[in-house]
């Protein structure tokens, strides 16, 4: 196999064979194929696409480029959830205990946040004492005992993806459906998932700006998962405005606790129940998605989901008194309300702008090395479609800096009040 011939083949829109894909990824990971040739291949894939079989082959070749987590010591079907990323997305904090409360094992490997979207680990670490440094043995023991544990990323998983992603970043080949789909799916599979639920976001705050692109990506990932023996379902959900009300680490933990108490924002609850019912159903519980959803609703009502959250937090060293009393979570020094400058209806709360505003406050990392401030962030009081009076508080900024003109400016770039506006639907499509 000569790499130049494979580039020519793909350039002409022909499908690469399984063996060609496997050899190419193996040799690229080993440093035997130079970046300039792989760059040309990525550009050829970008323009010529891949068929379903090629996408599955590419995914599995990336899985096999490194270690794979072996979760076979955990009893039951391990279902993982992946979100393509958004602003104020608190779903994992709610879903992990909620789904586990029905006996579904949740063995979650999570990351820290980069940029204006938060990471689950950062959020959890705003609970005093909570830690994610668990050995593989302890992690498995906790999942078997409590049905839920979260561990930080470790090990040499999918090294081919790390190399390819860095190369795509500098060759303008990130936005390619086969490349994104194989990148995301390879990481979930290498992390040991038996079944996968995907939350593909669409809108201004999302990686996929249009619903059509989100749909193509979701279908590609579902096809890959199902064809490599991991039952996969997906939801396409709105990320044009932030999810729920809270953006920021400790603020989102409080929002998750409220949701597990049955007092959370309607959109966050709806998304958790939609994704959660897919997870429960894939784990073999409930005769259909509707029954799975009812079981989850019951678990919130009877307190089992919140109880499971306490067990989970306590077993990873966290102080559970914050769950009964969220006032004990890290708190910012100042609270500044942003007031409506006219009466009308909220027509826009651009997720990206609000996410960047929260990052400037210190809730997110501008670079990998940035320190984050767990207490700060933004709490919305209105969502798109809501009526406002002049002078009414649209949102509250939680800050440890006295002067925040840049943050206020960003927020005003993101919010529009118009004469009329309709609410934005949250769920665009459910793919089963």
55 vs 74: CA distance, rounded Å:
29
Window 140-179: contact mask with ligand URA (x via CB under 6 A): -------------------------x-------------x
Torsions phi, psi for 211 (to 5 deg) = -65, -35
| Positions in 184-213 near ligand URA (CB under 6 A) | 184, 207
Contacts of 259 (CB under 8 A, 6+ apart): 90, 94, 244, 265, 268, 269, 272, 300
Residue 219 a catalytic site member? no
Burial of 288 (0-12, 13-18, 19+ CB in 10 A): exposed
Q: How near is the Cβ of 290 to ligand URA at its closest, in Å?
A: 31
Catalytic residue among 168, 230, 254, 293: 168
> Does 183 participate in catalysis according to the annotation?
yes
- Residue 168 among the catalytic residues: yes
Interface contacts to Ca ion, rule CB under 5 A: 88, 90, 243-244, 246
- Tell me which of 10, 81, 82, 398 is the catalytic residue: 82
Residue 293 CB, nearest approach to ligand URA (Å):
28
- The Cα–Cα gap between 61 and 48 comes to 20
Distance CA 200, CA 183 (A): 14
**Which residue's CB is nearer to ligand URA, number 142 or number 180?**
180
Strand 344-349 versus strand 387-388 pairing type = antiparallel
Has 381 been annotated as catalytic?
no
C-beta closer to ligand URA: residue 165 or 412: 165
**CA 210 to CA 204: how far, in whole Å?**
8
| Set 89, 122, 161, 199: catalytic member | 161
Could you tell me which stretch among 62-70, 180-188, 245-253, 364-372 binds ligand URA (CB under 6 A)?
Answer: 180-188
- State the distance between the two ends of the chain, measured CA to CA, in whole angstroms: 39
Catalytic residue among 56, 110, 176, 183: 183
DSSP state letter for 326? G
Q: What is the Cα–Cα distance from 111 to 125, expressed in whole angstroms?
A: 12
> Which residues are CB-neighbours of 314 under 8 A, at least 6 positions away?
320
Residue nearest to ligand URA (CB): 183
> Quick one: what does residue 412 bind among Ca ion, ligand URA, none, with the CB cut-off 5 to 8 Å set by partner type?
none
Options 60, 180, 197, 275; binder of ligand URA; rule CB under 6 A:
180
| Residue 88, contacted partner among ligand URA, Ca ion, none, CB below 5-8 A by kind | Ca ion
> What amino acid positions are annotated as catalytic residues?
82, 161, 168, 183, 187
Q: Which residues bind ligand URA (CB under 6 A)?
A: 165, 179-180, 183-184, 207
């Amino acid at each position: 196999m000569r790499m130049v011939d494979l580039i020519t083949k793909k350039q002409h829109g022909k499908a690469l064979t399984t063996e060609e894909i496997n050899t190419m990824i193996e040799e690229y990971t080993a440093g035997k194929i130079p970046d300039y040739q792989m760059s040309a291949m990525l550009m050829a894939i970008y323009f010529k696409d891949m068929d379903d079989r090629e996408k599955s082959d590419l995914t599995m070749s990336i899985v096999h480029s490194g270690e794979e987590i072996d979760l076979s010591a955990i009893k039951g079907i391990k279902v993982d959830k992946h979100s393509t990323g958004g602003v104020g997305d608190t779903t994992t904090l709610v879903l992990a205990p909620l789904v586990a409360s029905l006996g579904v094992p949740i063995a979650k490997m999570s990351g820290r946040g980069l940029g204006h979207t938060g990471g689950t680990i950062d959020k959890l670490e705003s609970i005093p004492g909570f830690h994610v440094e668990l050995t593989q043995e302890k992690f498995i023991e906790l999942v078997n005992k409590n049905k839920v544990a979260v561990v930080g990323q470790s090990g040499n998983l999918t090294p081919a993806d790390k190399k390819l992603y860095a190369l795509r970043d500098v060759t303008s080949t990130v936005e390619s459906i086969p490349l994104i789909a194989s990148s995301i799916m390879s990481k979930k599979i290498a992390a040991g998932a038996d079944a996968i639920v995907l939350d593909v976001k669409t809108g201004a705050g999302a990686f996929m700006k249009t619903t059509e692109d989100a749909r193509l990506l979701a279908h590609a990932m579902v096809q890959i998962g199902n064809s490599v023996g991991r039952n996969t379902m997906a939801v396409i959900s709105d990320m044009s405005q932030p999810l729920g009300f809270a953006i920021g680490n400790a603020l989102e933990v409080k929002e998750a606790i409220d949701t597990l108490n049955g007092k959370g924002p309607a959109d966050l609850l709806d998304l958790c129940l939609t994704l959660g019912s897919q997870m429960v159903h894939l784990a073999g519980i409930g005769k259909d998605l509707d029954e799975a959803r009812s079981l989850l609703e019951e678990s919130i009502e009877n307190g089992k989901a919140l109880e499971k959250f306490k067990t989970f937090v306590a077993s990873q060293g966290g102080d559970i008194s914050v769950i009964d009393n969220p006032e004990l979570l890290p708190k910012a020094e100042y609270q500044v309300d942003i007031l409506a400058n006219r009466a009308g209806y909220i027509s826009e709360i651009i997720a990206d702008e609000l996410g960047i505003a929260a990052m400037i406050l210190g809730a997110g990392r501008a670079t990998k090395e940035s320190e984050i401030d767990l207490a700060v962030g933004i709490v919305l009081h209105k969502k798109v479609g809501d009526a406002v009076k002049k002078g009414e508080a649209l949102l509250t900024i939680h800050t440890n800096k006295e002067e925040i003109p840049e943050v206020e400016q960003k927020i005003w770039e993101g919010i529009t009040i118009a004469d009329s506006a309709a609410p934005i639907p949250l769920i665009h499509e459910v793919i089963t």
